[in-house]
C-alpha cells in the first residue's frame, strides 16, 4: 500500500459584520476549504472569526484507488 501524504493549509477568516464573514467563508467553501470549529467573536464584539482548512491528499502511487 502506498504512503498517503496530507498537505494542509490553515487560515483564519475575519469580518466586522457576520454577513461579511458568511460571504468570505462561503467563497472559501466553494474553493474547497472547510470550516473547523465554530465562529468566534472578539472580546470587544467588533470582529467575527472562522478557522478554515484546505486538505490536499497526495499518494505516491497514482494508480492506487482507495
| Per-residue model confidence as pLDDT tens for the chain (66 residues) | 677 778 999 999 999 999 999 999 999 999 999 999 999 999 999 999 999 999 988 765 554 444
Query: Per the structure, how many domains does the chain have?
Result: 1
Is 33 a member of any domain? Answer: yes
Residue range(s) defining the domain that contains residue 48: 4-58
Q: Is residue 18 part of a domain?
A: yes
Asked whether residue 66 is domain-assigned, the answer is no
Calpha distance 13→41 (Å, rounded) = 12
Domain-located, residue 24: yes
C-beta separation of 54 from 45 below 8 A: no
How many whole angstroms separate alpha carbon 17 and alpha carbon 36? 19
Q: Would you say residue 63 lies in a domain? A: no
pTM over 0.85: no
Amino acid at each position: 500500500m502506498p504512503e498517503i501524504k496530507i498537505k494542509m493549509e490553515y487560515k483564519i477568516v475575519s469580518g466586522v459584520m457576520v454577513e461579511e464573514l458568511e460571504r468570505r467563508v462561503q467563497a472559501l467553501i466553494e474553493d474547497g476549504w472547510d470550516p473547523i470549529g465554530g465562529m468566534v467573536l472578539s472580546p470587544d464584539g467588533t470582529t467575527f472569526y472562522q478557522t478554515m482548512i484546505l486538505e490536499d491528499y497526495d499518494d505516491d502511487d497514482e494508480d492506487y484507488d482507495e
